[in-house]
């Protein structure tokens, strides 16, 4: 225990540790701070996350739509995508998110002609004609354009006709007075997905035409009372309110914990070499396991502290809200998710970084972990709802979604246990390497010398 406290004090004086804390706070401030108070403030509004649904209300919120069967959602997706396609075609600036960061790309003349052809294929119009369409051609936001069989003052029939490649929706109220023009896709949804796939191939990964982003932006369906009541029941009874916010918090924090610990751990071990502490460590009476365990434990504890402290900004107002609304609040909800969700990531990243630093005597861990982190980020298929055994971070970028966790609980548990196993393996390997170095006095450790030579080059 004394050795553990000593290592904690040493880490508290590290510039890299405070850099870790600062970046963590910036990430929290830009991504999560204020979300809880905003939701509490809007809890009286129909459809808001914390609002208790009542039968007969006009709006209960939205959910991800099933794009295979939901024709309304398909129309919304196609309308939104074409609207974006026309705008990006006009400016020749196409947005994408390689490695999770925003980037704009300009296409060549041949690719621009291809995009113009896709716009004509979907709409029946040139990009210039679509750009000059009257307001209302694209449904707002977009929303699905329902065409009622009757108007507010009586029966009102309608017809859909093709005019110069455009589909015109006419009612008795507007016939002869400038027919209302509304987007109707000329291609099937399957063909549209082929076009979207080719657009993403030209632009880059995670463009505005990737299926995941199309789902997130436009693939939403309205929730009805029964489902809203079930969702609220999950929130209050199973999540204890805090669980829903805890998952979103862990989603944002998990990204940072996938790479930042490598800097802290490597810096701690390399600091001793810089200060020529290796010889002193080699003659200590403490065993290698004890030394490595104390240092590893100190890193984990110190990096968990800011993660736990930052939850208070959300926990305290939720506790107050629960008391006012007479809802049982799970005060340990954030801690449970941090322990089961974030801790395995922190353990694995720290253990691998520690092993590589001790093995090579260089900051190799930072470069390796950065490569692993960006590779994992690149291969993230969805921001929520898709889980696998070998992923570094669980993504759940949404409030609610308890049913997703419940459905995938087994694979999530296997994934977290896999990371804990990786951590245990590399802690053991680190102790073995450390023990050998202590016996050899470190000076003639061939592998480390090779890495140091490569690093200097």
> Roughly what angle, to the nearest 10 degrees, separates helices 15-31 and 288-309?
30
The residue to which tokens 């759940």 are assigned: 396
The pLDDT score that the predictor gives to residue 377 is 66
Distance separating alpha carbons of residues 261 and 186, to the nearest angstrom: 52
The pLDDT score that the predictor gives to residue 396 is 85
**Residue 168, class by beta-carbon neighbours within 10 Å (0-12 exposed, 13-18 middle, 19+ buried)?**
middle
Q: For residue 306, is it left (φ>0), alpha (ψ between -120 and 50) or beta?
A: alpha
Low-confidence ranges of the chain (pLDDT < 50): 141-180, 279-280, 282-283, 285, 443-446, 454-455
The pLDDT score that the predictor gives to residue 215 is 85
The pLDDT score that the predictor gives to residue 136 is 72
Distance separating alpha carbons of residues 257 and 423, to the nearest angstrom: 14
Distance separating alpha carbons of residues 194 and 209, to the nearest angstrom: 10
Nearest CA among 405, 370, 375 for reference residue 390: 375
For the chain, give every domain's residue range. Answer: 2-42+227-456, 62-137+186-222, 146-181
- Paired with 162 in beta bridges are 167
The pLDDT score that the predictor gives to residue 381 is 54
Distance separating alpha carbons of residues 42 and 160, to the nearest angstrom: 41
The pLDDT score that the predictor gives to residue 289 is 80
The pLDDT score that the predictor gives to residue 369 is 80
**Residue 4, class by beta-carbon neighbours within 10 Å (0-12 exposed, 13-18 middle, 19+ buried)?**
middle
Q: What is the pTM of this model?
A: 0.74
Number of C-alpha atoms within 13 angstroms, CB side, residue 333?
27
Contact 267, 10 (CB under 8 A): no
Tokens describing residue 388: 């696998």
């Amino acid at each position: 225990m004394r050795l553990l406290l000593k290592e904690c004090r040493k880490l508290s004086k590290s510039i890299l540790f405070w850099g870790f804390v600062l970046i963590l706070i910036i990430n929290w401030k830009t991504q999560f701070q204020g979300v809880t108070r905003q939701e509490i403030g809007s809890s009286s509004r129909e459809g808001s996350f914390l609002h208790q649904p009542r039968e007969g209300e006009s709006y209960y919120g939205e959910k991800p739509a099933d794009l295979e069967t939901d024709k309304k959602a398909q129309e919304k997706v196609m309308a939104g995508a074409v609207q974006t396609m026309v705008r990006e075609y006009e400016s020749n600036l196409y947005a994408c998110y390689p490695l999770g960061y925003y980037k704009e790309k300009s296409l060549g003349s041949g690719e621009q002609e291809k995009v113009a052809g896709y716009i004509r294929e979907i709409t029946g119009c040139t990009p210039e004609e679509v750009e000059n369409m009257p307001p209302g051609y694209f449904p707002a936001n977009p929303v699905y354009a329902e065409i009622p069989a009757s108007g507010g003052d009586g029966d009102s029939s309608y017809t859909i006709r093709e005019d110069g490649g455009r589909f015109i929706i006419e009612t008795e109220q507007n016939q002869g007075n400038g027919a209302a023009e509304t987007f109707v896709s000329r291609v099937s949804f399957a063909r549209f997905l082929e076009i979207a796939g080719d657009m993403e191939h030209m632009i880059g990964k995670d463009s505005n035409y990737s299926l995941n982003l199309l789902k997130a932006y436009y693939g939403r369906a309205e929730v009805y009372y029964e489902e809203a009541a079930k969702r609220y029941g999950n929130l209050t009874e199973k999540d204890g309110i805090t669980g829903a916010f805890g998952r979103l918090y862990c989603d944002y924090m998990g990204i940072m914990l996938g790479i930042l610990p490598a800097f802290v751990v490597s810096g701690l071990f390399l600091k001793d070499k810089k200060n020529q502490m290796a010889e002193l460590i080699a003659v200590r009476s403490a065993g290698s396991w004890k030394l490595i365990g104390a240092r590893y434990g100190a890193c984990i504890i110190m990096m968990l502290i800011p993660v736990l402290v930052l939850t208070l900004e959300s926990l305290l107002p939720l506790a107050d809200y629960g008391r006012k609304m007479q809802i049982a609040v799970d005060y340990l909800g954030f801690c449970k998710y941090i322990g089961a969700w974030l801790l395995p990531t922190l353990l694995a990243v720290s253990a691998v970084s520690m092993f590589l630093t001790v093995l090579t005597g260089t900051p190799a861990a930072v470069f390796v972990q950065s490569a692993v982190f960006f590779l994992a980020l690149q291969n993230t298929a969805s921001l929520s709802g898709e889980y696998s055994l070998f992923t570094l971070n669980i993504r759940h970028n949404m409030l609610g979604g308890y049913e997703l966790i419940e459905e995938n609980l087994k694979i999530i548990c296997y994934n977290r246990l896999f990371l804990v196993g990786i951590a245990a393996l590399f802690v053991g390997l680190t102790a073995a390497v450390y023990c050998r170095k202590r016996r050899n006095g470190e000076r003639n450790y061939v592998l480390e010398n090779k890495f140091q030579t490569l690093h200097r080059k």
